[in-house]
Chain A
Amino acid sequence: SAVISQKPSRDICQRGTSLTIQCQVDSQVTMMFWYRQQPGQSLTLIATANQGSEATYESGFVIDKFPISRPNLTFSTLTVSNMSPEDSSIYLCSVEYFFLLDRTDTQYFGPGTRLTVL
């Protein structure tokens, strides 16, 4: 599977500030995704990060709040803008990785960024 890293691993931020989270993959991948996992809950897809075009956002998530960049096939960033305590969550990136051997593709996740907003 792909090796996925995220920076920072955790942060504590003040209300009203912004934080940019980085996701790096060790191989080129077409599909990258950003998820949010609120405390004690499951994962919710924020957006699909498309290389060379704007991200595609899910219902309830907007570009002004969660701007995403995808400058190449191994890297993406998610910014959480104008943060409030309700943004305290784990933010996870995932990549879709294709296995030529059995012609399957599935999503693998990074370790997550644990954000606390005071």
Chain B
Amino acid sequence: GESVGLHLPTLSVQEGDNSIINCAYSNSASDYFIWYKQESGKGPQFIIDIRSNMDKRQGQRVTVLLNKTVKHLSLQIAATQPGDSAVYFCAETRKAAGNKLTFGGGTRVLVKP
């Protein structure tokens, strides 16, 4: 596969444990945030999104938390599985700016059996 994320920070997690991936964003005017998962050799896959009028949103095994005060976003993955091993990116946008996404640096998650 492709060597995406070779130099990215890495989070090692034991299978079955919960994972928390953090992201700091810079633009206080951003009003829409997305988490993507990118597996080796593939394009980013949408996981979950959240709008700035919310501070928490839950999906299947994932929860996104938004703290606008400190411009911080986190993705929590419950009961991490081997298939969760990938690089995770947060992205921010401002609807008034034409929905152009600005991506964070990414975090590699390695799930240990």
Contacts and interface: CB of A to CB of B under 8 A. Distances in A.
B6 A40 contact: yes
Contacts of A58: 100
B33 to A, nearest CB: 10
Given A40-B3, A112-B43, A48 B100 contact: yes
Q: Is the interface of A mostly helix, strand, loop or mixed?
A: strand
A111 to B, nearest CB: 5
Interface string A40-58: 1111110010000000101
Contacts of B91: 43, 107
A8 B5 CA distance: 22
B100 A110 contact: no
A1 B1 CA distance: 25
Contacts of B5: 40
Contacts of A56: 98
A48 to B, nearest CB: 7
Contact of A39 (B3, B44, B100): B3
A42 B2 contact: no
Contact of A42 (B42, B99, B100, B103): B103
Interface in B53-112: 89, 91, 98-106
B40 to A, nearest CB: 11
Contacts of B7: 40-41
Contact of B4 (A40, A45, A111): A40
Given A37-B4, A90-B2, A114-B2, A44 B103 contact: yes
* 8 pairs of A and B residues whose beta carbons are closest in the complex: A109-B43, A40-B6, A40-B7, A42-B103, A43-B103, A109-B44, A112-B43, A111-B43
17 contacts: A31-B99, A33-B101, A37-B4, A39-B4, A40-B6, A41-B106, A42-B89, A43-B103, A45-B102, A92-B43, A94-B101, A104-B49, A105-B99, A107-B34, A107-B46, A108-B46, A112-B43
